[in-house]
Structure 1
Amino acid sequence: MELVKNSVWNVRTVDGLSSGLYRVLQVFDDIPCLILFYLENPKGITRPIAIELDKFSRSIKQKKILEGSFSLPPHLLLSEEEIDESYKTIRDENFSLIEVLVSDLEFIFDYATKKKIPRLAKHANDKGKARTTISRLLNSYWRYGQDKNALLPAYQYSGGAGKQRKVSEKPIGAPKTSRTLAVKRPKTFIMTATDKDNIRKALKKHHLKPGGKSLVETRKELLREYYANEVKRAEALGEAPYVPSYKQVREWKYKLFTDNEISEKSSTEKDLLLNKRELLGDTKKKWPVPGSCFEIDATVADVHIVSSFGKQYVLGRPTIYSIVDRASGLIVGLNVSLYFASWRAARQALANAFLPKASYCKEFGITIQDSDWPAAHIPLRLMCDNGEMIGLAPQKLVVPFTELQLSPPYRPDFKAMVESRFGLLNDEMIHKLLGTTRGGKVVRGDKDPRKDAIYTLKEFTALLIDAVLELNRSIYNSLATSSSLLIEKDISPTPLNFWKSHIAEHKHALKLADSSEVISRLYPPTKASMTRDGIKYNDMYYSCDRVIKDKLASIARTKGQWQLDVRINENTTNYIYVRFEKNDVFTKCNLLGKSNMMKDQPMLESEFVMDWLDKNHEENPISVESIDSKVKRTNIEKNAKARARNDKLTPTEKIKNTRERRKIEIEQTANKVEDNSVSSPQEKSHSNTESKPSSVVYLPRRRR
C-alpha cells in the first residue's frame, strides 16, 4: 500500500501511538521514518510524532493500521472565487508566519523528536507573536491537509444585505451573458422609481391577496397594464421588448414588501393563524522523482469531428489539454472539449489529473482499474504557458494546491515532455483517422478533410484515452538511464512502471488531495434548484439517494423550491455534484430518465438549449393578441354589469322557475337552428323533381 504525503491512516493498536487518525506529514527516505500528526485533538496543541518506516509498514500488513479518511470543515471546501478578500488577507498573513517552518524538513523532524525547540521560540519572537500562536497555526496547517487554505478563518460571511443601490444609466449587477455564441441576449432593463411603483401596484392587485395569481401571471398583467405600447413596438420591429424581467419582478417583491407583509396580504386571517404564524415554543536530475513537476499544455487536434445530434454537421477541431509528469513521462491528466485553449478547459484537465481515472474512463465505455492509470495526485509544482494560465483565476485556484510556474514566451522546450506527447498521439492515432488534417500537410487538389469527418467528440475522446493508456505502457530507453530502480527491479522502462516503482519505494513528491476539495475548487461553481421533479439544472433533472431518503422533492412540492450549490463536470451531463446543506460536502447526483435526451452529452449542448429558450421568452413575454383580448374581456364585463344594474327583478324572482325557463330557452334555440337548416316537405319534393335527368342512360351489357 502507498505511503503518500498527506494521506490519513487509522491506527488501532500500535505501541507508542494512541489509537485514532493520523496524517502523514513527511516521509524521510534516508533515515528512514515517517512523521505523523494526530488528528483526534482538535482543540489542544499537538506535536508531530516520528515512527520507523518498517514498523509502520509492518503494522499495515498486520491490519493494526488501516487506511483512513478525514473530512475537511465546510469553510475550507470553497473555490477561490468564493472566498472573501478579507479572509484571504488573514490566510496569507497567517501563512507568512509559518511558511519558513513548514517548508523546513529539519525543523519538522526536530519538532517531532526533540523535547525543546529553541528555534520555535526564536521564530515567534522574530515575528512578534506568542509561541502558542505559531504552534496553533502549525496545528491547523497540518491538521487540514498542509495547504494554505487550512489557515482560513472559521466564521461566516458578513455584508451589507438589504441596502439598495443608486439608480444610474448603467445596469446594476451582473450583465446578461450568453452561454454560447449562437444567441445574443437583449440589454438589461434599468429600474426607475416609476417602474418600482408599477410593480408595487401590480403585486398588490394581482399577487398579494388570498388566492392571488402566480408571480409569472402577475408579470404578464404588469406588462399588459403598464408596458403594452412597448410590447407592441417591439413586436412590430421584431425585437425583444424593453420591459422588466421576471427575475426583477421577483427581486423587487421582497424589496418592496417585508416577509410579514407578504405573508399577511396573501393569506386569510384563518390561514395565517392556522398555518403561517410563528412557532416559538419548540425548536507532481532536477526532477528525479514523480510529482516534482507536472507540465500542462493545450493543442488543437488535427482532426475534424461531427455533432452527436446530427452526424452530417461538422463541428471543427476539438482542443486537447494534456498534463504530463516530467520525471516519468506518464500522462497524468487529459481533457478534450470544444472550447479553445482557456482556463475554462484547463481547470477540467487539472481536476482530471488530481482525481482517480477509473470513473472518467467508464464514461467513455473504457473499463480500467485504478492501477492501470494510477495518477491521482497533486505535484510539487506545475509548469504551464503564460497564455491562458497567467490570469487571476489560475493563480487563485491552482496555487493553493501546488506551485504555479510560467514558461517564457515562445519557449516550448520548457514543456518538452508534454509537447512530445502531442507528437506521439498524432503519429500513433490522430493522423490515421478519417477527417484528419495531418498537421496541415494538405496537398492542393486533395479532398477536404472536413468531408471525411465521422467521429463525434465522445468517440474521439475514447480513442484518445486508449492511445494515452498505450503510451503510458510503451518502452522508453531514456527512463532506464534516469533511474536505477527499474534495473534493480528488472521491469520494463515504461512510464507506468517508473511511476509505480518510485511510489512503492516512497521516492516521489506527490501529495494526495481530498476528492471533495478538488471538486469544490476546480469544477465550475453554479446553482441548481430543488424542485418536485428533482434537482433542476439547465432544464435537466438529477437525483440521488438523499433526495429519495429525505423526500426533498416532496418538500419542494409543498413548501416551494430552493437553490443549491452545484459543481459541474463540463465533459458530461450525466451527473453533477450538489451540496444540500451549508455544512455538507458535495454529493454526486445522476441524470434522471426524464432528461435522457441530453444523456452522454457535453454541458455545451444543454447550454445551447437554454440560450434558445431564453431568446424565445424574451422576444415574446406576452402576445400582442393577449393585450387586445384583455380589452375585449373588460368590455364584455362592463356590458354584463350594466345590464345587471338595469334588471329590476329581486334575487328571489331571478332564481324562480329555473327549470321551465331553461326548457323554453332550449326549445327556442333548437327551433331557430331547425328553421335555418331543415326545409319543408314541398321544398324537398320540388328539389327531387328538379334533380331528375331528362333522358334514360343505358349501361353496357356484360358478355355472356
Structure 2
Amino acid sequence: MELVKNSVWDIRNVDGVQPGLYRLLQVFENISCLILFNLESTKGIRRPIAIDLERFSRSLNKKEALKGSFSLPPHVLMSEEEINERYAAVRDKNFSLIESLIEQSEFIFDYATKNRVQSLARHAKDKGKARTTIARLLSTYWRYGQDKNALLPAYQYSGGRGQQRKVSESALGAPRTSRTLAVKRSKTFIVTDADKEKIRKVLEKYHLKPGGKNLVETRKELLRTYYSDEIKKAKALGEIPYVPSYKQVHSWKHKLFTEDEISRKSSTEHDYFLNKRDLLGNARQRWSVPGSCFEIDATVADVHIVSSFGKQYVLGRPTIYTIVDRASAMIVGLNVSLYFASWRAARQALANAFLPKGPYCKEFGINIQNSDWPAAHIPLRLMCDNGEMIGLNPQHLVVPLTELQLSPPYRPDFKSMVERRFGLLNKEMIHNLLGTTRGGKVVRGDKDPRKDAIYTLSEFTALLIDAVLELNRSLYKSLATSSSLLIEKDILPTPLNFWKAHIAEHKHALKLADSNDVISRLYPPAKASMTRGGIEYNNMFYSCDRVVKDKLASIARTNGQWQLDARINENTTNYIYVRFDKNDAFTKCSLLKKGSMLKNLPMHESEFVLDWLNRNYEKSPISVESIDTKVSRTNIEKKAKARSKSDRMTSAEKTKNTRERRKTEIHETANKVVSDPSLRVQPNDKTDISTNTNSVVYLPRRRSQ
C-alpha cells in the first residue's frame, strides 16, 4: 500500500506503538524510517514518533495497521475569502513562528527521536517566545493536516458554548442596572438544579402542549406553584421577590428542550406531520414511473352552489374527490358530488380515473381529445385514507383491480401529491368564485357567501375540469430532475408531457381497464323498473335498442312491470346502465324525450325534483277549496234526496217519454228565459243592448237531429 505524506492510519497492533490514529508526517527512505504523529489526545504537547518502515509494512500486510480517517474541525475548513482578517493575522503570525522548523526534515527527525533538541530552544529564543509556545504550535500544525489554516484561532470553542455552566454563588451574566439612582433593581436570581427541574415541569404542563399558555402566563403558573411563599414574604416586607425572571424562563426553555422537542410538544401529531416535519424525501423516489401509485382523497369545496331548477335553492358545498398519479403529479380522476366523503362518492371518482375522459368532459360541455387527458388506466396500487376506503365494499370491489394501501391516521403527508392539488385548485380557481368561503377565512361583517352563490353543480364541475386540465399542463421544476426522458425529448416538464413520454417508452406500471368491468364494479348500483313507458328510474324513463326490438315496454303493459339491475353515473341523467338478464353485460340506455327537462343535468337534480314533489304533497295533502266543495256537494245531495222522496211517480212513469221531455226542457230553459212578452227584443229592434240591462237576446237554434 502506498505511504503518502499527511495520510491517516489506524494502528492496532504494532510493536512499540500505542494503538490509535496517527498522521504520517515524513518518510525517510534512505534510513527506512517513518515519522508518525498521534491524533488521539487533544490536550498538552505531543511529540511525533519514529517507526521502522519495514516493520510498518509487515503490519500493513497483517492488517494490523489500516487506512484511517480524521475529521478536521470547522474553523480549519474555510476558504480564504471566508476567513476574518483578524483571524488571518493571528494565523500568519503563528505560522511565521514555526515556518523555518517544519521545512527542516532533520529537525522533525531529531524532535521525534531525541529527548533534548537544541535547535528548538535556539529557535524559540530567536523568536522571543517560550519553548512550549513553539511546541504547542507544532502539535496543532501536525494534528490538523500540516496546513497553514491549522493555526487559525479556534474561537468557536471559547466560553464553553453549548455547555451548561456550573452554578455558583454569584450571578452569571451582566448585572441589572438602574436607569436612575432613585430606583433600586432586584438582584439577579441564581437558577439552581432544583429550579431547572421546576421550570421544566411547568413548561411541560402549561406551555409545551397543543393550545398551551404563552410563556408569560406559564411563568405566572411557575410562581404560583413553587414560589408563592417567597412572593407572600416579599409582599409583607415590602421587598422585591427573589424569583426567576421571564428572560430566565425563556432561556432555560431552549436549554432544557431541543427545538424539535419544542415543535413536537407544541403541536398535534397531525399538525406536525402536515406543517412542521422535515421535507428531506420526495414522493417520486420510490414511485418513479406513471401508474406506480395513485393517491385519492376528498375535500369539501370552498364554495356554495345552487340548484338548476331555482337559484334560490342553495345546496351547500359539494365534495371534490381527486385522484393523482404520484410520479407525474397528473390529476387522473375527478368527481364532484353533493355526497359527503364516502364510498359512494369515491367509487364514482375511481370509475372516472379508470375510464376515458372524453365522454365525461362532453357531459359538461367541454370537448377534448383523449390525448388532452390520456389517463384511463388502473394503477399498480392505490394510496387512500382508512376512512371510506377501509370497509368491506372497497376491499371486495377494488382489490381485484388494484392493490389498496391505507395511510396511517393523522398522516396527510402520505398523500402529499393529492393534498397539494387541492391547495392549487383553491388558489387558482375556487377562491375566486362568487359564493366562496375562502377556506373559512370569514371576517366579521362580511356578506354571507351563501347569498352570493350562483353556480350550479354542472357549472362548477365544468370550471373545475378546466382548472384540472390547466394544472396538468403547468410547468413543474421537480419533474425535470426526476426523469431524464423530458430532457432527452426536449419537452416541457409538465405532468401531461411526463405521462406521455413514459407511456411512449413503455416505462410505466399501468394497465388498461375493461369498461364493462369498471361500470359493473364501481358505478353505484340501483334498481330500475321495466314499465310500459320505458325503463323507469327516479321518475325518469330510458330506452335502448333492445327495449324496442324485444317489445319489452309492451310486455310490461300487458303482464306488469319488473325490476332490473342498474348502474348509475351520478354526473348525468342522460343515460343509465341496465342489465336485462343476470348473464348479460350492462347496456347503456338513453333518456327519453318526455324527460327532456332533466337532460344534461347531474343525477342529484332528479332527486331534487322528487324531494320537491314529496315536499309539496306533504305541504298540501288536500286543497282548502276541496273542503268547501265537499260541503256544497253534500248540501246539493241532501236537497236532491229530499225532492226525490216527495215524488210519488213510479219508475216506469219517470222513464216514459224521455225524448219529448228533453225537447220541452231545452225549449223552456234555453229559449224562454222570461215569461213577460213585453221584455222580448225582436230581431229588427234597434235598441242598444249594452244600455238595456233587462233585454233578452235570442240565439240561433240548433238544427234538429
**Structure 2 residue identity aligned to 1:454:** I
Shift in Å at residue 683 of structure 1? Answer: 9.0
- 2:322 aligns with 322
* Distance change (3 Å), C-alpha of 1:666 and 1:430: closer
User: In the alignment, which residue of structure 1 is the partner of 2:349?
Assistant: 349
For CA contacts below 8 A with separation 6 or more, give which structure has more relative contact order: 1
- The verdict on how the C-alpha distance between 1:621 and 1:684 changes in structure 2, with shifts beyond 3 A counting, is closer
Q: 2:662 pairs with 663, 666, 682, which one?
A: 666
Q: Which residue identity does 1:679 align to in structure 2?
A: S
Q: Secondary structure of 1:390's match?
A: coil
1:632, 1:538 → 2: CA distance? 43
Seen in structure 2, the aligned counterparts of structure 1 residues 682 and 573 have a Cα distance that, compared at 3 Å, is closer
Residues 634-671 of structure 1, C-alpha deviation per residue, up to 9 Å, x if partnerless? 999x99xx99xx9798xxx999xx6xx23443366468
Taking the aligned partners of 2:620 and 2:503, their CA distance within structure 1 comes to: 62
Q: Distance in 2 between matches of 1:669 and 1:337?
A: 68
Equivalent position of 1:506 in the other structure: 506
Structure-1 residue corresponding to 2:438: 438
Measured after TM superposition, the shift of residue 358 of structure 1 is 0.5
Shift in CA distance, 612/452, structure 1 to aligned 2, threshold 3 Å: closer
State the AA in 2 paired with 1:571. N
Shift of 1:561: 3.0
| CA–CA separation in structure 1 for the residues paired with 2:288 and 2:332 | 17
2: CA distance, partners of 1:444 / 1:654? 84
Question: What is the 5 A alignment of 1:467-616?
Answer: 467-613=467-613
Shift of 1:593: 1.6
How far, CA to CA, are the matches of 1:298 and 1:481 in structure 2?
Answer: 29
When residues 681 and 395 of structure 1 are mapped into structure 2, their CA distance, relative to the original with a 3 A threshold, is same
The letter of the residue matching 2:432 is: K
**How far apart, in 2, do the equivalents of 1:552 and 1:371 lie?**
40
Distance 1:628 1:381, change over 3 A: farther
Q: Deviations over 1:562-609 (max 9, x none)?
A: 322211111111111112233221111221221111112221221233
Matching residue within 679, 685, 692 for 2:675: 679
Structure 2 unmatched runs, 5+: 1-283, 682-690, 693-705
1:369 counterpart letter in structure 2: Q
CA pair 633-333 structure 1, distance change in 2 beyond 3 A: farther
Q: Which residue of 2 aligns with 1:461?
A: 461
Question: In structure 1, the residue corresponding to 2:535 is in which secondary structure?
Answer: strand
CA drift at 1:532: 2.9
- Residue 629 of structure 1 and its aligned partner are, at CA, apart by 13
Aligned partner of residue 434 in structure 1, secondary structure: coil
**What residue is the counterpart of 2:420 in the other structure?**
420
Which residue of structure 2 aligns with residue 37 of structure 1?
none
Q: Aligned partners of 1:445 and 1:618: how far apart in 2?
A: 38
**How far, CA to CA, are the matches of 1:538 and 1:575 in structure 2?**
12
Mapping of residues 43-442 of structure 1, within 5 Å: 285-442=285-442
Note closer, same or farther for the CA distance 1:555–1:629 as it changes in structure 2 (3 Å cut): farther
Equivalent pair of 2:361/2:367 in contact (CA under 8 Å): yes
CA–CA separation in structure 2 for the residues paired with 1:494 and 1:590: 38
Instruction: Tell me, in whole angstroms, the C-alpha distance in 2 between the residues paired with 1:364 and 1:370.
Output: 16
Residue type matched to 1:287 in 2?
W
Change in Cα spacing, 1:514 to 1:627, as seen in structure 2 (3 Å) is farther
Runs of 5+ unmatched residues, structure 1: 1-283, 686-691, 694-704
The 5 A counterparts of 1:1-40 are none
Give the Cα separation in 2 of the matches to 1:674 and 1:470.
78
Q: Name the amino acid aligned to 2:458.
A: K
SS in 2 for 1:311: strand
Equivalent position SS for 1:299: strand
SS for the counterpart of 2:581 is coil
Q: Secondary structure at the match of 1:298?
A: strand
The amino acid of 1:306's aligned partner reads: V
Q: Aligned letter for 2:607?
A: E
One-letter amino acid of the counterpart of residue 361, structure 2: C
Task: Give CA-to-partner distance per residue, 1:132-176, whole Å, 9 cap, x none.
Answer: xxxxxxxxxxxxxxxxxxxxxxxxxxxxxxxxxxxxxxxxxxxxx
Contact 2:308–2:605 (CA<8 Å) still a contact in 1? no
Q: State, as a whole percentage, how many aligned pairs show the same letter.
A: 76
Find the residue that maps to 2:511 and give its secondary structure. Answer: coil
Q: AA paired with 1:574?
A: N
Given residue 380 of structure 1, which amino acid in structure 2 is its aligned partner? L
CA deviation string 1:18-74 (max 9, x = no partner): xxxxxxxxxxxxxxxxxxxxxxxxxxxxxxxxxxxxxxxxxxxxxxxxxxxxxxxxx
Q: 1:630 to 1:672 in 2, by over 3 A?
A: closer
Following TM superposition, by how much is the alpha carbon of 1:329 offset from its aligned partner in structure 2, in angstroms?
0.7
Structure 1 residue 285 displacement after superposition: 2.6
The residue identity in structure 2 corresponding to 1:593 is: K
Query: Following the alignment from structure 1 to structure 2, what is the Cα–Cα distance between the partners of residues 558 and 403?
Result: 49
Residue deviations 1:652-699 (CA, integer Å, cap 9, x gap): x999xx6xx2344336646875999532448989xxxxxx99xxxxxx
Judge conservation of contact 2:307–2:605 (CA < 8 Å) in 1.
Answer: no
Q: Is contact 2:566-2:579 (8 Å) kept? A: yes
Secondary structure of the equivalent of 2:299?
strand
The letter of the residue matching 2:591 is: L
* SS of residue matched to 2:410: coil
Alpha-carbon shift at residue 522 of structure 1 (Å): 0.9
* Matching residue of 1:450: 450
The whole-number CA distance in structure 2 between the counterparts of 1:351 and 1:490 is: 34
Q: What amino acid is the match of 2:471?
A: L
Amino acid at match of 2:316: G
Q: Relative to 1, partners in 2 of residues 1:546 and 1:634: Cα closer, same or farther, differing over 3 Å?
A: farther
Cα separation, partners in 2 of 1:548 and 1:476, compared to 1, 3 Å:
same
Q: Which amino acid aligns with 2:479?
A: L
CA distance in 1, matches of 2:517, 2:375: 17
* 3-state secondary structure, aligned to 2:389: helix
Alpha-carbon distance change, 681 to 302 in structure 1, aligned in 2, over 3 angstroms: closer
User: Structure 2 CA distance, aligned partners of 1:423 and 1:439?
Assistant: 10
Distance 1:682 1:505, change over 3 A: closer
Offset of 1:526 from its aligned partner? 1.2
- C-alpha distance in 1 between matches for 2:679 and 2:443: 88
Larger radius of gyration: 2
Measured at CA, do residues 667 and 519 of structure 1 come closer, stay the same or move farther in structure 2, by a change above 3 Å?
closer
With over 3 angstroms needed to count, the CA separation of the structure-2 counterparts of 1:530 and 1:622, relative to structure 1, is farther
Instruction: Name the CA distance, whole Å, in 2 between partners of 1:576 and 1:683.
Output: 72
Letter in 2 for 1:326: R
Paired position in structure 2 for 1:116: none
1:547 Cα deviation (Å)?
2.7
User: Any runs of at least 4 consecutive aligned residues in structure 1 with deviations exceeding 6 A, and if so which?
Assistant: 615-636, 646-649, 682-685
SS in 2 for 1:388: coil
- Provide the TM-score with structure 2 as the length reference: 0.50
2:662 alignment partner AA:
I
Aligned 8 A contact 2:293 2:380 in 1: yes
1:482-505: CA deviations, max 9, x gaps? 222222222222111221222222
